[in-house]
Amino acid sequence: MSIPSPTPLPPPPGEAARALHLPGRIVRQVAAFDRRVDQGIDRLRHPTVDRVMYTATALGDFALVWHILTVARGLRSERDAADTVRASSILGLETVLVNGVIKSFFRRTRPTWDQPRAFRIRRPRSSSFPSGHASSAFTAAGVLSEGDRLRPVYYGVAAVVASSRVYVKIHHASDVIAGAATGVVLARVAKRLWPQPVDGSPFSGLRNRRRS
């Protein structure tokens, strides 16, 4: 059963944002922005929205939804099957980079939430900054949407997965924005370094680029 919950008492201004190693004025602005977003989201709480957002955040764990979409996309043709290997490999590298490297530079605490949650979810112990769900979502959307008519769908799913992290109180809004930006950049770099396959080999795009 979904239980709409009021906004919990916020931590002291800037407490979580200090881990971002930014000047004091910017820390206060980030903390104020996060609080405003939290207050706006709390006005949207509803049992139906709870179900959508908690489901989205669960499907975003370990980039599950993106691996499912990647495999489903790979069933369309031999070339798409080769691109499945490429896309899944890029997602794996993104996970290592963001969760294993980038997060290690920050020790940002996650949002406080002492109210009952509508549904059970996984609660990571890693740094809150940046959001790994948002990063993987926008990395995947950027890679999968290349030359694909389902581009709006991929980015729509990415937006829901990313925003769900704020809704379920696992991330601050600024974590999600930073994660999404990281994903956009990583997708662009990945597409440049590892082009789409032109045939049934995941590496045919690389070979084709070298010939040209």
Note down the domain range covering 158: 19-110+119-207
Residue 138 covered by a domain: yes
Average pLDDT, the chain: 89
Residue 212 covered by a domain: no
- State the pLDDT at residue 13: 43
The CATH number of the domain where 178 resides is what? Answer: 1.20.144
The pLDDT > 70 percentage for the chain reads: 87
**Burial classification of residue 40, based on how many CB atoms lie within 10 Å of its CB (0-12 exposed, 13-18 middle, 19 or more buried):** exposed
Residue 9 covered by a domain: no
The predicted model scores a pTM of: 0.86
Residue 177 covered by a domain: yes
How confident is the model over 58-72, as a mean pLDDT? Answer: 97
Whether 86 has a pLDDT exceeding 50, the answer reads: yes
61: left (phi over 0), alpha (psi -120 to 50) or beta: beta
Residue 14 covered by a domain: no
Residue 7 covered by a domain: no
Total domain count, the chain: 1
Whether 1 has a pLDDT exceeding 50, the answer reads: no
Contact present, 60 and 136 (Cβ < 8 Å): yes
Q: How far apart are CA 73 and CA 63, in angstroms?
A: 15
**pLDDT tens readout for residues 11-25:** 444 555 555 666 678
Two structure tokens written together for 1: 């059963």
Q: How far apart are CA 109 and CA 170, in angstroms?
A: 10
